[in-house]
Amino acid sequence: MSDVILELKNLQKWFPVRRNMTQVLKGERNWVKAVDGISLKINRGEIFGLIGESGCGKTTTGKLIMKLLEPTAGQMIFKGKDVTYLDKEALSEHKRNVQMIFQDPYASMNPRFKAREVLTEPLLIHDIGGSRTARGEMAAKALEEVKLTPPEEFLDRYAHMLSGGQRQRIATARTLILSPSFIVADEPVSMIDLSTRAEILQMMKDVQKDLGLTYLYITHDLSTARYFTDRIAVMYLGKIVEMGSVDEVVDNTKHPYTKALISAVCEPVSGKVNKMKEIPIKGEIPSAADIPPGCRFHPRCIYAESECWEKEEPELEEVEAGHLVACRRYKEIT
């Protein structure tokens, strides 16, 4: 039984919406509820996927975990300690332990920095290494870890002199150099060519095994998630609707939204050209400033009944071993 490295309890992040004069005078306040109370547990050494479409709150969750944003409510427990609100020193330590790989490998590195400077910057910030030589050695080691060898070849290059895959390796090396325990990867391969994607993912998996890391893998691409992750949580409009091992969630889907997502995914197989895709979903995603009452998915759900919008929002419940769903009617839908 592996222990839990990160636990989120009803984590919330609401952004205030700009008000006009009448609203200010009336005392009304509107919120964009980007993350509206999510709870999950991530075990040490696993790859946990956070799936959802744009606007569902997955990137915001990642930033909350990184402490680039402060939560509006809820709790975050990392390695057994409550890290919801941290003072400067504890924050610094937290940021050493939790690192991020960004989506755009080119934009995430200062274009005026050589690879060497990109890699040694975390060391300088946290005052590790002591001398230029020592830091250079640590940078070289990090490059070896991500299989960019020989390191000397790459240390003096700028970002625009490297391919997308190489840049993402350097970004990964940068996260590793502080020996973190937890890495948040936000769509790390979506901007990389298909033929290189697998290579980068393989590298990330190798690194994980070597160093015993835990990943939070944020993506909208279910197919890649299937390949890469161990467990996933599907988010919709700021809440988790389904959570479990990736095989369970994909093969034994319970939530209507997850069903819709899965049916919408394209597969590279023949014979589908002349068929229309059946997507069991209605309408459009509502704004996060205007969340529907009851089950927030009900306006788009083809199985919705009156209880879905009259009663209060369904909680995430464990319906099978390790498989959680937030839906009242999951049993009745196929």
Considering only residues 225 through 244, tell me which ones interact with other proteins, judged by CB under 8 A: 226-228
CB of 224 to other proteins, least distance (A): 5
Interacting positions 158-197 with other proteins (CB under 8 A): 158, 160-163, 165-166, 174, 178, 193-197
Confirm if 141 and 120 have CB atoms less than 8 A apart: no
CB nearer other proteins, residue 274 or residue 306: 274
Which residues lie below 8 Å from residue 87, measured CB to CB, with a gap of 6+? none
Other CB atoms within a 10 A radius of the CB of residue 224 amount to: 20
CB nearer other proteins, residue 39 or residue 76: 76
Give me the residue label for tokens 């919008």: 309
CB nearer other proteins, residue 39 or residue 83: 83
Q: What are phi and psi of 22, to 5 degrees?
A: -60, -40
Distance in angstroms (rounded) separating the CA atoms of residues 64 and 216: 12
- Regarding 284 and contact with other proteins (CB under 8 A), the answer is yes
- Regarding 68 and contact with other proteins (CB under 8 A), the answer is yes
CB of 216 to other proteins, least distance (A): 13
Confirm if 216 and 182 have CB atoms less than 8 A apart: yes
Size of the site for other proteins (CB under 8 A): 86
Interacting positions 209-228 with other proteins (CB under 8 A): 220-224, 226-228
- Regarding 92 and contact with other proteins (CB under 8 A), the answer is yes
User: Which residues is 6 bridged to in the sheet?
Assistant: 42, 78
CB of 114 to other proteins, least distance (A): 8
CB nearer other proteins, residue 39 or residue 177: 177
* SS3 sequence of 58-106: HHHHHHHHHCCCCCCEEEEEECCEECCCCCHHHHHHHHHHEEEECCCCC
Q: Coil, helix or strand for 243?
A: strand
- Regarding 96 and contact with other proteins (CB under 8 A), the answer is yes
- Regarding 302 and contact with other proteins (CB under 8 A), the answer is no
Interacting positions 247-276 with other proteins (CB under 8 A): 247, 250, 260-274, 276
Which residues lie below 8 Å from residue 313, measured CB to CB, with a gap of 6+? 239, 294, 295, 296, 326
- Regarding 27 and contact with other proteins (CB under 8 A), the answer is no
Strands 4-16, 98-101: pairing is unpaired
- Regarding 29 and contact with other proteins (CB under 8 A), the answer is no
- Regarding 304 and contact with other proteins (CB under 8 A), the answer is no
Element housing 242 (H / E)? strand 239-245
Interacting positions 133-162 with other proteins (CB under 8 A): 133, 136, 140, 147-149, 151-153, 155-158, 160-162
With CB under 8 A as the contact rule, the residue among 99, 172, 229, 258 that binds other proteins is: 99
